[in-house]
Amino acid sequence: MQPAPSRLATRTFDLDEVRSEFPVLSRRIHDHPLVYLDNAATTQKPLTVLDRIDSYYRTENANVHRGVHTLSQEATDAYESVRPVMQRFLGAASSREIVFTKGTTEAVNLVAGSLARGYFKKGDEILLTGMEHHSNIVPWQLAAEATGAVVKVVPVNDRGELDLGAYQALLGPRTRMVAVVHVSNSLGTINPVRQMIADAHSMGVPVLVDGAQAVAHGPVNVQDLDCDFYCMSAHKVFGPTGTGVLYAKEEWLERMPPYQGGGDMISAVTFEHTTYHEIPHKFEAGTPNMAGVIGMGAAIDYLSAFDIEEIQRHESQLVTHATGELEELGGVRLVGTAAHKTAVVSFLPEGLHPYDVATVMDRFGVAVRSGHHCTQPLMDQYGIPGTLRASFALYNSLDEVDRLIDAVRKARKFLS
């Protein structure tokens, strides 16, 4: 059975119109119009998101879940109404499977931290890949340290693709968890998570997918993937900072002990014994980021109005153009040339240091990320100090790609 589509396209994609909806894009940097190509770090926010946050604070703000008064009810309704929005967006079976977190990092920590309380045992293996973001490495290292489990790593080849044979060989009787990035933030590689999940499940192993870089660039359906956990950040999908989602299958949420304790996640407290609230609230201790969650709902509404395939076509044009032009320049190493990749182009002009190049490019108004992109093990493997990364979002234009290439050319000239 094919799950119902999670997005409904009601708007035709019009680049100029879209650009006009993101106020920050009209900024000037060092006397040049800003070319913002650091979307994998964080995306910009459309007016609808800003307006929603503002109107929440101006007319609805109250603490959720506890009050009988109208304002508290309205705030609670607004907050809880985002759960089904995220459920549909991710294709979850139930809104009880949507836990609001600070972001991807907290979502991974929540799972790793909760499973460290009883699930992982000494000698258990946690299988990661060589292209994970630190946020999908360190929480598992902490859990391993606490429980005596060990971390194993699936190797990555020179094009930036996972070695699936090695993955299958590593999946063994001691494997208790697989954690894998859906789309790599430093390379853009789209990993074959569906296959990897099927492989893991055939051995009875659950899989966590780090979807931080996936959700803004293509449809995600967690039921279709059949992943056990899926993590994302609102700020990387046109939403506010400080919020995100952990999707987890209901059976896992029921089974897992709580992660943080506090108000809102309990049903009864005595000093002798505390009983926890039902899922998903069991995992949401304390006053939540109401404005953040409500803004995230507005961001998903914004994105869902488009046909995601139109956005994908647009972004893939940008990637193809950028890649072609960088190859044309010559003397530029492309890092991450996987067959399946998304809106990221990572590169390094030969003989130059990414810090220097990024510093000079900024002088021309072009914002790219330089460094190891929180994937240090991968950079170590490639023997480079880091890369320059241009990462695209729906509001980027082919003109901006030309400005990117021009800035690279000028920076190289200047630095050589």
Partner 1 sequence: MTATATIEERADEVVEEFELFDDWMGRYEHLIEQGKALPALPDAYRDEAYKVRGCQSQVWVAAEPTDHGTIQFWADSDAIITRGIVALLVRVLNDQPPAAVAGTDLAFLDRIGMKEHLSPTRKNGLDAMVRRMKLYAEALAST
Ligand X SMILES: Cc1ncc(COP(=O)(O)O)c(C=O)c1O
CA distances from 368 to 122, 186, 250, 297 (A): 43, 12, 39, 28
List the structure tokens of 368. 């790219």
CB-side exposure of 289: number of CA atoms within 13 Å?
19
Q: Which listed residue (20, 95, 316, 376) binds its own copies by CB under 8 A?
A: 376
On whether the CB atoms of residues 229 and 208 are closer than 8 A, the answer is yes
**Phi, psi dihedral angles at 194 (to 5 degrees):** -60, -50
Return the residues of window 52-111 that contact ligand X according to CB under 6 A.
103-105
Residue 385 site contact among ligand X, its own copies, partner 1, none (CB < 5 to 8 Å, cut-off depends on kind): partner 1
In the complex with partner 1, the residue whose CB is nearer, 41 or 305, is 41
Cis preceding linkage at 3, omega within 30: no
- What's the closest the beta carbon of residue 372 comes to partner 1, in angstroms? 6
Among residues 393, 406, 302, which one has the least CA distance to residue 361? 406
Nearer to its own copies among residue 222 and residue 411 (C-beta): 411
Number of Cβ within a 10 Å radius of residue 230: 29
* Nearest approach, Cβ of residue 212 and ligand X (Å): 4
Catalytic residue among 29, 62, 374, 415: 374
- Of the pair 198, 269, the CB lying nearest its own copies is at 269
Does 258 engage in binding with its own copies (CB under 8 A)?
A: yes
The site map against its own copies for 26-55 (x = CB under 8 A) is -x-xx---x-x-x--xx-xx---xx--xx-
Residues 57-76 that bind its own copies (CB under 8 A): 57-63, 66-72
Contacts of 126 by beta carbon, 8 Å cutoff, 6+ apart: 120, 140, 143, 144, 149, 150, 151, 152, 175, 176, 177, 178, 179
Say whether residue 385 binds its own copies (CB under 8 A): no
Nearer to its own copies, 340 or 355 (CB): 355
Does 231 qualify as catalytic in the annotation?
no
User: Measured from the CB atom, is 99 or 193 closer to partner 1?
Assistant: 99
Segment near its own copies (CB under 8 A), from 2-10, 156-164, 316-324, 371-379?
371-379
Say which residue the tokens 């510093």 belong to: 359
Where in the sequence numbering do the catalytic residues fall? 374
